[in-house]
Structure 1
Amino acid sequence: MKKIYLIAVFCLAMVSAQAQELKWHNDVKEAIAIGTKENKPLLLFFTGSDWCGWCIRLQKEVLKTPEFTKWAKDNVILVELDYPRSVPQTPEIKQQNYEIQNVLGVQGYPTVYFVKGEKKDEKFNLQALGKTGYVPGGPVAWLEVANGILSQK
């Protein structure tokens, strides 16, 4: 009986953990469509996921916390724009990421842009709302900055 109880608790924990996971998009056009439908801005996370120490630190201290997960589900559509050194990417994703990096003038990582996306005459436009990067102090400090940016929209 004890084993069945432990197995049930484990299964519930796994389902709960999976329900907590966030959906990070890598196709900006798809994310814009979702953001338009849900009336939410996009959070564009510019990262060097396999080499950038500050990017990894931002992920660990903020983007993978329960506080951020809850906030993100209510407030934004998440988009990861990755510039890895050893992780393969399709040519289309590479081109998309570099084009958006150039349009927004991103020069360092991590950079987090909040944008309003729209499709107009078969073209996609991004209106910058504000940007941030790594903020010391964990999720509370980071979310304070993010909420400040989003409150101006």
Structure 2
Amino acid sequence: MESCKVDEEGLLKIEDQLCFALYSTSRAITREYAVLLETMGVTYPQYLALMVLWQHDGILVQDIAKGLEVDQATATPLVKRLEKLGFVTRRRSEKDERRVEVYLTEAGKDLYKTALAVPRGLGCAIGVDQARARKLIDELNDIKAFIAKTNER
């Protein structure tokens, strides 16, 4: 039986992998968000869902899922937790009872004012100013668009 060879060329050193740099950085940033969001009483995924609603109030759960780039089965429990916290209400669509629309409550709308401090707080916590953040966002969006285009083929 042939034994496994060690990566003698060092091609798979974890610290040299883009995937691990993205993964570990994402986890570190999410931990920083947790600290910032604690005073708001929401988790990072809940904060993301609220950001979608602050842009487009009164949308379908499936639209929240689309905005977060997750499936509806992930978005639905997230919305239910936000409802239990008193930040959103869910209503059946008048046009189609099978669809559920999500609306911010007054508490959800008021939370927006507190959330305005979060991006700057995160920037300070991770040492990234607005200009550098914009460059990173653009680069990551370019990579995501390339992957999407490649997967269309």
Does the TM-score normalized on the shorter chain lie above 0.5? no
Larger relative CO (CA 8 A, sep 6+): 1 or 2? 1
Q: Which has the larger radius of gyration?
A: 2
Q: Which has the higher helix share?
A: 2
Please identify which structure carries the higher strand content. 1
Q: TM-score, normalised by structure 1?
A: 0.30
